[in-house]
Copies of this chain bind each other. A is one copy, B any other.
Amino acid sequence: MTDDGAADQALRALAEPRRRAILRLVAHDELAAGEIAAAFDVTRPAVSQHLTVLKNAGLLTERRDGTRRLYRARPEGLDQLRRLLDDIWAGALDTARRLVEAERGIGEDDRVAAG
């Protein structure tokens, strides 16, 4: 299980700038689909599709109130994402530490800061 499918969906969903903007909108307040769509220059169906993608990725929740549908960000969706990123970088962080130590051991005299 090198690559979780759920986290993959979340990552693909967040790759779209407009979907991140939507998430920012519903992070603080619960908003209706129409209110969210009004915040952008694209049509409402387009926003509706973005909401579907975000919902399938587990990044927001949907609640029905009459004919309206209210959306709100789902903080738990971030966890799986963070786990995936940490999993990828776990080895890299360890390797970087080893390299820094090795650099110090090899030549402190002619070696300056690498970056």
Give how many copies assemble into the complex: 2
Is there an interface contact between B75 and A27, defined as CB atoms closer than 8 Å? no
Give chain B nearest CB distance to A57 CB in angstroms. 11
Closest to A99 in B: B72
Is there an interface contact between B82 and A28, defined as CB atoms closer than 8 Å? no
**Which among B73, B82, B88 is the interface contact of A92 at CB below 8 angstroms?**
B73
- Interface, chain A (partner B; CB < 8 A): 2-3, 8, 11-12, 14-15, 17, 20-21, 23-24, 26-29, 72-75, 78, 81-82, 85, 88-96
- Residues from chain B with a CB closer than 8 A to the CB of A23 are 88, 92
- Residues from chain B with a CB closer than 8 A to the CB of A89 are 27, 73, 75, 78
